[in-house]
Amino acid sequence: MIFLLALVGVLGVSASGPLVAATPSVGPLAMAFWRNGLGAAAMGSAVALKGRSRMRRPSRDEWRYCTIASLALALHFACFMTSVRMTTVAAATALVCLQSAWIAGYQRLRGMALGTRVMGGMGVAFGGVVVITGFDVGRSAEALIGDVLALAGGALAGAYTLAGSKARATMDTRSYTALCYGLTAGVLLCLAWIMGEPIGGFPLEGWLGIIALTIASQLLGHTIFNHLVVALGPLVVSMIILLEIPGAALLAGVFLGQTPPVWTYLGLALILVGLLAVVGGQGRGWKRPVGQPKGR
């Protein structure tokens, strides 16, 4: 059962980039708003089904960490979902999946000792970033901007992970995701209003894309990994999520006809090897776990 859930989770998060790229009629902020808003409604309904006797009001600390996590998640979605419209799905997914390396960097800034394996893995992963972005410099200015946005999205995902892990220490999966998704949707709604991006009036294919993204990536991807981290632990889940990189590239190639240049594949391979080293070195190089990663 756990293997089946992990497989569904990988397919769900892998579909995020291709679905966003395949739905150009919906702006990235609007698409991010709806996936979180509908996700919050679904998880909120699941919480309500537990019964009022088992529901409780979040504490002040839980509210604080959920707010920080939601702000980081909203900005992560804004960066990542814009990036897949500007660069290839494979490049955007690879760069945003650097969140594990960003987490290691955040922990290093906080004074946590990192092992040689973790540091070496970070170096290899960022070498892959240089390979991908170096190619995109020559391809187009738009692609380079997309790569930078994806890189920022990975840093924001790392911040979301760390803040979310603090809240998750005392909150169950359904309560945390319902609150976090709802707050994230609120931030994205404000961003869409500021940027003048409409959140309605889309054609049928736009709404179908939103529904598919919500079901596949938000509920069957993101939320499943939030559930599995309890059974498998953050290390194993982190390694499983890395499969999003080749998964998204494969789906984009099959359904969107996006065939990245050979140098992009080399960059993907370097990032994957580097991240595996970072995740594998967690237990040896870190004095305590850093929290659980999330999918898109």
User: How many whole angstroms separate alpha carbon 143 and alpha carbon 135?
Assistant: 9
Residue 179 has pLDDT above 60, yes or no: yes
Residue 11, φ and ψ in degrees, nearest 5: -65, -35
Instruction: Dig out the tokens for 114 from the structure.
Output: 């990192």
Name the strand (E) or helix (H) holding 9. helix 2-14
Residue 32, φ and ψ in degrees, nearest 5: -65, -40
C-alpha distances out from residue 85 to 19, 74, 75, 191, Å: 11, 17, 16, 18
More confident residue, 149 or 230: 149
- pLDDT average, residue stretch 13-18: 92
Please report which confidence band the pLDDT of residue 196 belongs to, taking 50, 70 and 90 as the band edges: very high
Stated pTM of the model: 0.84
% of the chain exceeding 90 in pLDDT = 40
Determine how many CB atoms are found less than 10 A away from the CB of residue 123. Answer: 14
Q: How far is CA 68 from the centre of its chain?
A: 16
- pLDDT average, residue stretch 51-79: 88
More confident residue, 277 or 24: 24
Please report which confidence band the pLDDT of residue 229 belongs to, taking 50, 70 and 90 as the band edges: low
pLDDT in tens, 240-290: 777 787 888 888 888 888 877 777 788 878 888 887 787 677 555 444 444
